[in-house]
Structure 1
Amino acid sequence: MARSESYQCDVCGNQKNDSELWWMAWVDCFEGISPNEDQPLIKLTRWQPRQAHEEGVKHLCGARCAGTLLDRWMSGQHENPDAHCESL
């Protein structure tokens, strides 16, 4: 039996249809020379069904919501410019 999953945009709440091109984003770590130079980074890619259910993946219905997510993430980084990867 096939597994049916439904997804909502993590920004606006739109429900994903199978025919729509969506995006995924997640926070990763940009590794510096030493751990105190590590810093969080955000990654964005086209929708991949196998990775869409992974922990920490944000589901995005389009460019506007991707931009909103990026803006929110950047604001959080601005508030805590010394954040390192272990604080993710």
Structure 2
Amino acid sequence: MARSESFQCDVCGSQKNHNDLWWLAWTDCFEGISPGDDQPLIKLTRWQQRQAHEEGVKHLCGARCAGTLIDRWMTAQHEDPSAHCESV
């Protein structure tokens, strides 16, 4: 039996169709010389089915929603400029 998957844009809620060209985004850590120098960063890449299932990955339907997500992330970074990467 074939497995049916559905994905929604994490910004606008649109449903992904099979042939749609979507994007994936997630946060990561830019490591400084010492842990106190670590800086959060955001990454963006083309849709890859396998990575779409990874924890913490955001699904984005296009440039407008990618821009909105990045804008929200930047605003959060400005609200807490001393934020460092979360330790795992």
Q: CA deviation at 1:3?
A: 2.4
Q: Within 1, Cα distance between the matches of 2:87 and 2:73?
A: 14
When the two chains are superposed, the root-mean-square deviation of aligned CA atoms in Å is 1.3
Per-residue CA deviations over 1:29-70 (Å, capped at 9, x if unaligned) read: 000000000010000000000010110000000000000000
Q: Secondary structure at the residue paired with 2:52?
A: coil
Q: Secondary structure at the residue paired with 1:36?
A: helix
Match status 1:24 vs 2:27: no
Stretches of structure 1 lacking an aligned partner (at least 5 in a row): none
TM-score (norm 1): 0.95
Counterpart residue number, 1:11: 11
Amino acid at match of 2:52: A
Overall identity of the aligned pairs, in %: 82
Q: Which runs of 4+ in 1 moved over 3 A?
A: none
Q: CA deviation at 1:23?
A: 0.1
Aligned residues: 88
Q: Within 2, Cα distance between the matches of 1:86 and 1:72?
A: 18
Aligned pairs for 1:57-76 (under 5 A) are 57-76=57-76
Stretches of structure 2 lacking an aligned partner (at least 5 in a row): none
TM-score (norm 2): 0.95
